Structure 1
Amino acid sequence: MTNGPGPGRTFAVDVTAPGNPRHGFDVFRSGWEAQVGEAYPAPAFAPGSTGDFRISARAVKAHESVIADVHSESLIGTNEGVSPQRDDQVLMHVVRRHAWSFTRRRDGELTVAAGHFMLQRSGPPTFEVARHTSAKVLILPASALGPLTAERLITGSAASAEMRLLLAHVNLVGETVQDLTPAGAQAAQHALIELVKGVLRQQADGTEQRLGHALVRAAKDLADSRLTDPGLSPSVLARELSVSVRTLHRAFAAAEETVSGHIRRSRLERARLELLAPAGRPGISELAAHWQFADSSHFIRAFKSQYGLTPAEFARTSGGAEPGTG
């Protein structure tokens, strides 16, 4: 187990080594309370006589919410939720590898495969099985989500526009949480909760200013995965992310750039990297066509504007043969 200096914003623990399941959970819980704080308790877990508890986790805390990357070598037992003396919680599991099974008496068994999520409100005991499974787990205050969670297991695809927007914000919080002020951490949680509401309602309100950073991140990730698509445009990105084109442009303006500018710069950077290849270096016309520039002249002008050199000059300074023009 990795020990921190005391309750804070980060947590890391590893109890994947074979051993007594109850002891493994006790080590996990004590590490959680020492590093995250008793105000945000880990849900109680009962391995049972045939159960197992071998997991590792790395987590960050944003105000009253926790975001954890969890790897389960073997987890078999009952999640008993939080004690009645604690505030109610909502848990969201976004499964990334293999599957995580949940069984409740009135809901039956539900298996969540990779690429899907499950959201539950702590309450009825839930029997869980997860072997060689990786997941992103969110722990949120239930009061902030109101009646949207109800008392049921809620599942869906992690590929929806709403989930992509949520996960982009989750990643951004993980990267910046150590530098956030208390007010910033609270704002990050507010945005997190609004995005979860968007998932539950199957719509994300991108007009909220606090969601702007997450929207820009999600749009950039989506654009960067489609740079060779001739149809890539701000309207396509807005449609995929379920926001208006105006909302998308406003979010980028707040970040002091434009949607089209990001796409052009990203395409030029990919072309620049291809020019560094020691062998099989593509020609100028080929690069222009592949990265969706109107023609070679347009590509050369854009490249020189961004890097101060023409593609041929850049190739010469980086070593190797000059790219052909055909």
Structure 2
Amino acid sequence: MAKVVSTVAVSPRNSVSFWTEAVSDTFVDLDCKAGDGRESIDGEITVQTLASLDLARVRASAQSVHRTPAAIDASTDDYYLVGIQTEGSCLVTQGGRSAALHDGGFALYDTTRPYSLLLTGHFEQLVLRLPRIALERHLPEAARLTALAVNADPGAARLLVNTVQFLANDIDVLPSDVSLSVSQGVEHLIVAGLGGLARCVPDAQRVSRRKLVQAHILENLGDESLSIKSIARELHLSPSSIHRAFAADGETVMGWVWQQRLNRIRETLLTGSYDGTLTDLSLSWGFSDPAHFSRAFRQRYGHAPSQLLRPIAESPFTPPSTQ
């Protein structure tokens, strides 16, 4: 049974707040603003569910829609949205990239990172909401394919648009025992439509993401709680995209963190001026277990950290080459 929400009985003065709440209930927490110089929003949302997919038909007047960092921080939602533009136009922006949608074109956007939609004039959009795990199971690189326009040319993209339009009109006629199979078929069409984009995304994006993560790590290197989860939360990235940014170079994220911490400790010891304990030094750089630190140091540099812990008056220790 479809759920329909409309502004038809809402006063213009209250329409924007009403619409914002309706859109947020349907998708994720969003901030909506009236567009084209208007102070109100007229619109209707029809929502239907097909197994793991939620399908919404949105018809409304001009507006901008924003997924803000504050809303993300306050939310546990973990979805991808696929917006198909069937009337009017939409500019999707996420991760420093924008995609213009019209005439059945569609794009993917990630609800765990900030994004915005600029919808001009009266428009209609068909929006699919699916769990992150459902899409990344078939398309692991999905996070780097957001805000890329897919035109509804012949092929998988056109088939997806036609299928979603049919479902929007006739989903109620589907027997319940085939709903799961149909929803999985739609997921496969999304993957087919987006899959070809993976070859078009420059490797520079991965390099840029890696540099962003590395900068954050270095700023918080002494924080014992630094983790993939905390990095993802602070930078509004998915954990999988962070892992991939390092895996392409044969590294793990936390391996890189430990390497930087060990380097900082070694540099401190090599000055010959440190007169504290190794335990205090390792704790100050985020190692919670002194024994683990000592083992990691010996494994990396081939000697114990205590060999660098020298009184100031003694000659500095010349460590073995790490080359």
* TM-score for both structures, normalised by structure 2: 0.49
* TM-score for both structures, normalised by structure 1: 0.49
Q: Of the two structures, which has the highest relative contact order with CA contacts closer than 8 Å and spacing of 6 or more?
A: 2
**The structure with more radius of gyration:** 2
